[in-house]
Structure 1
Amino acid sequence: MACLIPLLVFLVLRTADAQPSPGYHPSSSVSPIRFYEGYSNLWGPQHQTISPDQYSTTIWLDTSSGSGFKSKNSYRNGYFGASIKLQSGYTAGVNTAFYLSNNQAYPGFHDEVDIEFLGNIEGRPYILQTNVYVRGSGDGRIIGREMRFHLWFDPTASFHHYAILWDSDEIIFLVDDVPIRRYARKVEATFPDRPMWVYGSIWDASSWATDNGKYKADYRYQPFVAKYTDFKLGGCTGSAPPSCRPVPSSPSGHGLSPQQYAAMRWVQNNYMVYYYCEDSSRDRSLTPEC
C-alpha cells in the first residue's frame, strides 16, 4: 500500500495540472481552407512556401527578410484560426504573429487584435502575447492592452490551434478551443468596430520582444521558421449583408459558458504572466475599461 501513495499523489497532481475541457469547440464549426482560398503573400515571398495541397504554409526570417501573408477579404466579425508550430532553441527577438488589423485602410489611425509569440533565449519558454488597441498607430499614440501567458505545453513540439473570435460585443482569444482571454466592449472608444483583415507574419522585433529588448535576434541561429496549417476563416466580410451572423462563442451563442469561464480562469490563474490593468506604471486615464 505504501508504494501506491507516491503514485496516487502523482496522479492527483497530474489531474490538477491537466488542461480542462471548455465543453464547447468553436473551431469545429469552421472548415479548414486552402491557403490561396483565403490568403495571399503580403511581403517576403522568397521566405514563404506553400505545401502542395495548399493547406499549410511555412514562413521564415533571416538576415535578409521576414515574411507575411494577408487575407483576401476584410471582416467585420468572425472566427479566425490557424494551427501553428514554432521553432525551438534560441528565438529571442523574433515575433511570430497571427492577428487582425486595418492598418492599410487607416494608416496612422488603425485597429489591431494580436496573437504574438515572443521568442526567448534557449531554456526559457515562449510568451504568448494577446493585445488589443484601437484607433492608434506607431506614432506614439498606441495604447496597448496586453495580456501575456506562458503555455501549458511545448509550442515547438507540435501544432496547436490559436484563434481570435470577434463580434460586436467581445473578443475572445483561444488556444486549442480553451478561452484564455475575453475582452469585452466596456467603453465605446476602446473596442474595434471597423472591418479588419487577417494576417500572419514573422519578423525581427529585437527592440522590444524579449525582456524589453535586452536579448536580440541572433542570426547565427537563422533561419527562424514558423509553420501554419488548418487555416479557418469564418465570419462576415466587410461587404456581407446585415443578416450575416458571427460564429457563436458559446452554446448560448454569446459570451462564455460557466465551463468555458472555468477553463479560462484555470489558464489565467496558472499561466498569465502580465495583465495591463494590473500594471501600476500604466496611466489609468488611457485605459478606462480597466
Structure 2
Amino acid sequence: MSLLPSSFFSFLLFSIVIRCSTAQGPPSPGYYPSSKISPVAFGEGFKNLWGPQHQKVDQDSLTIWLDTYTGSGFKSLHSYRSGYFGAAVKLQPGYTAGVITSLYLSNNQDYPGNHDEIDIEFLGTTPDKPYVLQTNVFIRGSGDGNIIGREMRFHLWFDPTEDFHNYAILWEPSEIIFLVDDVPIRRYPRKSDATFPAREMHVYGSIWDASSWATEGGKYKADYKYQPFIGQYKNFKLEGCTTEASTSCQPPSASPLGYGSLSPQQLAAMQWVQNNHLVYDYCHDPGRDHTLTPEC
C-alpha cells in the first residue's frame, strides 16, 4: 500500500479551510437599504411587455416561463432618472443552459440603436455547475451593433434555486451599486459623462433563449426537453425619481454615509465577494481593447 505524500494532506486541509471560510457567506454589510423601501404589487408597478400567455401573477408574486413557443417579459409603468430597483428571485434548478433570467434597466424602446442599460442577468447552466450572475452596463449604444460590454460575473455564495434572494440595482447620479441580499457586490462610479448612463430608463425583467452566448460562450444550448424554464419574482421594490419628478428629487442611498460612498463595513463585504466569488472582470481581460473602456 502506497502512502500519500504530506503535501497532499496539506492541500486537502487548505481546501477544507477555504471552503469553510466561504460557506458562511460574506461578512455583514451593516446596512440594509432594502429594509427602507416598501414592496409594491406587480400590477402597481409593472405591466406585461411580451409573452402574456407565459406570465402568471399570483397575489404579489410573478412567474414567467420559456418554452419552444416564446419567453416572457415585463416593464415598469414609469421611467426613472435614478432610484433603487429590486426583486426577490428564485431560479430553476437542473439543466438551464442557454436561458437568461433577468432584471434590468433600459431605454432601448426610447433610443433604439443608441440605448443605455444596467443589467442583472442569471446565466443558465448545466446541472454540474453553478449559475453565473452577470452584471453589465451599456452606455449610449455600446450595447448596439459593435457591443462594448462592461461585464462583471459572479458565482453566488448560496444556491439561488433553493429559495428567493433579493437582487437590486441602485442607480444614483454618481454611481451604480449592484446588491445581493443587501450586500454590495459591485460599484460602478461615474468617472465621466461618456462612461455613465444618465438618460431616463424603465425597469424590465424577462426570461429568454440566449443560446448563442449565455452559457460558456454558447458551448451549451437551451435543450427544450427540459421545458418549461421558469423564473419566479416577488417582493418588487421601486423607489426613485421618475421622469416627471421634480429636479430636487433624490434617490435612496445605498449607504448610511449618504450618496457616493459605501461604509467601511459595506466595502469589506464587497471585497469579500469579489475576492471569493468574482469569476470575470472586463477590466482585467487581456483580450479586451481597453481604449474603449477608459473607466478601467
Q: Please report the TM-score for the alignment, with normalisation by the length of structure 2.
A: 0.92
Q: How has the CA–CA distance of structure 1 residues 15 and 188 changed in structure 2, closer, same or farther, with 3 Å as cutoff?
A: closer
Q: Is the 8 A contact 1:107 1:137 kept in 2?
A: no
The answer on 1:29 being equivalent to 2:29 is no
* CA deviation profile, 1:194-242 (whole Å, cap 9, x unmatched): 0100000000000000011010000000000000000000100011001
Distance 1:207 1:179 in 2: 30
Distance in 1, matches of 2:68 and 2:147, equals 28
Secondary structure of 2:238's partner? strand
SS at structure 2 position matched to 1:120: coil
Instruction: Write the mapping of 1:70-219 to structure 2, written as runs, cut at 5 A.
Output: 70-136=75-141, 139-219=144-224
Cα deviation for residue 140 of structure 1 reads 2.2
Q: Aligned residues: percent identity?
A: 69
- Aligned CA RMSD, in angstroms, stands at 1.7
Aligned: 1:260 with 2:266: yes
Q: After the TM superposition, which parts of structure 1 deviate over 3 Å for at least 4 consecutive aligned residues? A: 12-18
Shift in Å, 1:20: 1.2
- Given that 1:108 and 1:137 are in contact with CA atoms closer than 8 Å, whether structure 2 keeps it comes out as no
CA distance in 2, matches of 1:81, 1:273: 23
1:20 and 2:27 matched? yes
Structure 1, unaligned stretches of length 5 or more? 1-5
| Gaps in structure 2 of 5+ consecutive residues | 1-12
Number of equivalenced pairs: 281
Distance in structure 2 (CA, Å) of the matches to 1:140 and 1:15: 39
Aligned partner of 2:243 among 230, 238, 242: 238
8 Å CA contact 1:93, 1:213 repeated in 2: yes
- Determine the C-alpha separation between the residues in 1 that align with 2:245 and 2:265: 32
- Give a deviation string over 1:123-163, Cα, whole Å, max 9, x none: 11000000001011654232100000000000000000000
Describe the shift of the 1:16–1:202 C-alpha distance in structure 2 as closer, same or farther (beyond 3 A).
closer
Q: 2:289 maps to what in 1?
A: 283
2:233 pairs with 193, 218, 228, which one? 228
SS in 1 for 2:268: helix
